[in-house]
């Protein structure tokens, strides 16, 4: 390599290093790709942003930019400058399901994002309206086989995690039910509680109060372990659907090509928040579990999830506009 090229490369390296050392010098934004107040991810992400301001030494703004099952806000971050000032609250659906559901997606998960830190896991559960004559997994499968295609399950939209969770359940249980997609989790839950749909796969947090009120019936938790929020509700794995494990993961990603020094700084400060007793307890109170991962481990998880959901989407041929 010639001396001018070496000098140019050295100059670039020094400028990037200096920029990283001064980071952050202004407020940082975390983009939440779903509406405010609609999920446990919004609650946990908002709380993370508030607590992250102190170790970063700058205000962290939590900015809801919803649309197209989370892909609008995700694309916004993918196309932002790679300077650490615009981050994504990355969740399962937009990152590892949408790439196989949308024919024209404005980002590539592994190419356009730099994993920073995984924060939490939130288990799902399958719930039923009390009018459904099934009180557990065995009875539900028997009912669905007796009435093929007649039971209606709600989802937060075609290609959403609740949709794919139920599709995976149907595939493994060898049953058929009718999909009723909604524009978000709130209307899907409202119609299930009202009895307009029979079943819904939702987060444990969203279901807990309604279960206590007797307005819905639990079929089973979708994670391998029982939820500490609802310890008396058996998992699908326990009830015979061995290996069934679906949880919503939540983490932070940055645009690709964000300097490694900035990624590491962000990870260290996020880790300080997640490892704090106060925030860890807050995560658990929301029905989720602290699940801190570094950039490499988080990236490996996303690759594995892309492979997992890609196989299912291709098998059942799910598409969305």
Alpha carbons 206 and 287: distance in angstroms, whole number: 9
The pLDDT value given to residue 260: 97
Q: Do residue 19 and residue 108 come from a single domain?
A: yes
- pTM value? 0.86
Which residue positions in the chain have pLDDT lower than 70? 1-20, 38, 321
93 lies in some domain: yes
238 lies in some domain: no
pLDDT tens-place string over residues 14-26: 444 454 678 999 9
77 lies in some domain: yes
The pLDDT value given to residue 26: 97
Q: Do residue 202 and residue 295 come from a single domain?
A: no
Q: What is the dihedral of CA 196, 202, 208, 214, to 10 degrees?
A: 20
The CATH number of the domain holding residue 156 is 3.40.190.10
Counted domains in the chain: 2
- Residue at a domain's end among 182, 205, 221: 221
CA distances from 139 to 43, 134, 168, 195 (A): 34, 5, 18, 19
Alpha carbons 206 and 142: distance in angstroms, whole number: 27
Q: Do residue 28 and residue 171 come from a single domain?
A: no
127 lies in some domain: yes
Q: Do residue 104 and residue 136 come from a single domain?
A: no
Q: Residue 87's domain spans which residues?
A: 14-121+248-316
Q: Do residue 211 and residue 276 come from a single domain?
A: no
Alpha carbons 233 and 42: distance in angstroms, whole number: 25
Alpha carbons 202 and 248: distance in angstroms, whole number: 10
The CATH number of the domain holding residue 46 is 3.40.190.150
Q: Do residue 112 and residue 257 come from a single domain?
A: yes
Q: Do residue 265 and residue 284 come from a single domain?
A: yes
45 lies in some domain: yes
Q: Do residue 108 and residue 189 come from a single domain?
A: no
2 lies in some domain: no
Alpha carbons 47 and 252: distance in angstroms, whole number: 13
The pLDDT value given to residue 321: 62
The pLDDT value given to residue 12: 43
pLDDT tens-place string over residues 74-128: 999 999 999 999 999 999 999 999 999 988 899 999 999 999 999 999 999 999 9
Q: Do residue 56 and residue 30 come from a single domain?
A: yes
Alpha carbons 142 and 147: distance in angstroms, whole number: 9
235 lies in some domain: no
Q: Do residue 38 and residue 107 come from a single domain?
A: yes
The pLDDT value given to residue 5: 52
Please give the share of the chain, as a percent, with pLDDT higher than 70: 93
The pLDDT value given to residue 92: 93
Q: Do residue 23 and residue 108 come from a single domain?
A: yes
Q: String of b and e for 276-313 (b: at least 16 CB within 10 Å)?
A: eeebbebbeebbbbbbbbbbeebbebbeebbeebeeeb
71 lies in some domain: yes
Q: Do residue 173 and residue 197 come from a single domain?
A: yes
């Amino acid at each position: 390599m010639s001396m001018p090229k070496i000098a140019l490369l050295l100059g670039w390296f020094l400028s990037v290093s200096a920029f990283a050392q001064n980071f952050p010098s202004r407020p940082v934004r975390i983009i939440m790709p779903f509406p405010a107040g609609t999920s446990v991810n919004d609650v946990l992400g908002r709380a993370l942003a508030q607590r992250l301001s102190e170790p970063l030494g700058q205000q962290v703004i939590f900015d809801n930019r919803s649309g197209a099952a989370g892909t609008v806000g995700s694309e916004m971050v993918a196309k932002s400058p790679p300077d650490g000032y615009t981050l994504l609250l990355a969740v399962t659906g937009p990152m590892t399901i949408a790439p196989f559901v949308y024919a024209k997606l404005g980002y590539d998960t592994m190419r356009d994002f730099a994993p920073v830190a995984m924060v939490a896991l939130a288990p799902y559960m399958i719930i039923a309206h009390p009018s459904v004559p099934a009180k557990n997994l065995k009875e539900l499968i028997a009912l669905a086989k007796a009435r093929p295609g007649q039971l209606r399950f709600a989802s937060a939209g075609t290609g959403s995690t609740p949709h794919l969770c139920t599709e995976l359940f149907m595939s493994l249980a060898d049953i058929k039910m009718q999909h009723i997609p909604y524009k978000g989790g709130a209307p899907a839950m409202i119609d299930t509680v009202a009895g307009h749909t029979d079943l819904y796969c939702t987060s444990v947090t969203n279901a807990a109060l309604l279960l206590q009120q007797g307005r819905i019936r639990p079929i089973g938790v979708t994670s391998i372990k029982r939820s500490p929020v609802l310890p008396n509700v058996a998992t699908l794995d326990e009830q015979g659907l061995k290996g069934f494990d679906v949880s919503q993961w939540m983490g932070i990603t940055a645009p690709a090509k964000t300097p490694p020094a900035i990624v590491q700084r962000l990870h260290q400060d996020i880790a300080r928040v997640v490892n704090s007793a106060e925030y860890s307890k807050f995560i658990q109170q929301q029905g989720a579990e602290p699940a801190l991962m570094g950039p490499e481990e988080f990236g490996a998880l996303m690759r594995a999830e892309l492979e997992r959901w890609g196989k299912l989407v291709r098998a059942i041929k799910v598409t969305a506009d």
